[in-house]
Amino acid sequence: MKPGLRMVGVVAAAFAAGTVLGPVVTPPIVSALAQEAGNRAETYRLLNLFGDIFERVRAEYVEPVNDREVIENAINGMLQGLDPHSSYMNARSFRDMQVQTRGEFGGLGIEVSQEGGYVKVISPIDDTPAARAGVKPGDLITHLNGNSVQGLTLQEAVEQMRGERGTAIKLTIRRPGTEAPIELSLTRDVIRPQVARFRMEGNDVGYVRLSSFNEQTDIALRRAVTTLRQQAGNSLKGIILDLRNNPGGLLDQAVQVSDDFLEQGEIVSTRARKADDGQRWNAKPGDITDGLRVVVLVNGGSASASEIVAGALQDHRRAVVLGTRSFGKGSVQTVMPIPGNGAIRLTTARYYTPSGRSIQATGIKPDIEVLATREEANAPVRDREADLRRALRNDAAAEAPQLPPLNLPAGVADKVQRLPPEGAPSFDPTKPETDFQAQQAANLLRAWAAAEPQRRAAR
């Protein structure tokens, strides 16, 4: 007799005895065993159902099928049915992911998710074919080379967009606010994103933009800050850390970047299904800016690792967060290699900022809201994590702790304008003078530095 059946028999006998002898309290251990046996039996029935359907597909589908492809599609469907970020990677996709996290990969240069069967652009990566062609966050890719992406898994669509350097691909895009589809022809390239770009704003404010969090990010940030301090000398009033449209990446890099600005305290924590599986990361002494004022820029394309950094610096009041609310991807994906068969990317925990706020589906609300354009004030709200199908809920959002007031001298925040002036030029990434949000961040840092001696004198 099978152990499962034997267990059912024991439980059935216990219930029979209860019926004969009258009302009794079933011992907790017996109740638990009964539930476990029932769950196991149901699982076996469902696995048999899967096997039956697989055999019917193999035997009766109109064309012969590849067993591996069918099984991999089933696995991917199981994982993608959980949430927008869990998925299966075959051996090739897993290798591609490992290459990408090292800071070099082939393709178009876009971070994507899936929505309504279409491929949704989270963010184009700076100085890549996608960015140069004008692909924007929020774009829905509906066709690849004229073929609909409906019915493709996200991984299948990504694999079609990847390819040899110099080969071409045509994207059909549906853009919010635009009625007609947009056709773009792109030429694939080897993507080596410059993860940190930096410049001086005037001669007194340093600007650093991080485009992603790969293995090179922390090193690149440190080099950028060192160079800016050398260029500015003693006149440097502060640093702008631009995380707009940064889709995230490696957790350890987000922790290290946060630690670069913090002397102590928690950076981020995770809470998993089992309490013992939660983790916490703390800052070590040492601030690469020696206490310079910092403004962090975020928007709806700032996700995951970007939100960890913004949340940590905001909670510690180490920086002022400026811009618009971030994307809200506060879930942890663990990559679990399957020997000989790629890997699964499984959501295993949620991120929490040092004050205990969950990032999931809420994102980071800026301390000072500044819109990139006047049109943004009346434009439809940009989709974020909470708008994705099967996105994890944030049941603790209503109980999120209140942050202490901004640590700014009186009147400094009033120097910041929320909207660009009438007739201001449209933002062009190649023209820093059109970047209204960065300009306002620089104005804030200058006003902050000017008021700081007055505040110290008043104490």
Residues designated catalytic = 304, 315, 329
Q: How far apart are CA 455 and CA 458, in angstroms?
A: 5
User: In 152-262, where does DSSP find H-type helix?
Assistant: 154-161, 217-232, 251-261
Q: Which amino acid is at 231?
A: Q
Q: Contacts from 132-135 at CB under 8 Å and sequence distance 24+?
A: 133/184, 133/185, 133/186, 134/184, 135/108, 135/110, 135/171, 135/173, 135/184
Alpha-carbon span 186 to 165, nearest angstrom: 11
Between the two ends of the chain, the Cα-to-Cα distance in Å is: 82
Alpha helix segments (H runs only) across 278-393: 305-315
What's the CA gap between 114 and 140, in Å, rounded?
9
**Separation of alpha carbons 281 and 212, rounded Å:** 20
The residues facing 6 across adjacent strands are: none
Q: How far is CA 343 from the centre of its chain?
A: 19
| 260 contacts 287 by C-beta, under 8 angstroms | yes
What are the angstrom distances between the C-alpha of 211 and each of 51, 308, 313? 45, 15, 18
Closest by Cα among 296, 357, 353, 300 to 325: 300
Q: Which of 301, 304, 372 is nearest to 123 (CA)?
A: 301
Q: Which amino acid, 400?
A: A
| Number of neighbouring beta carbons within 10 Å of residue 430 | 7
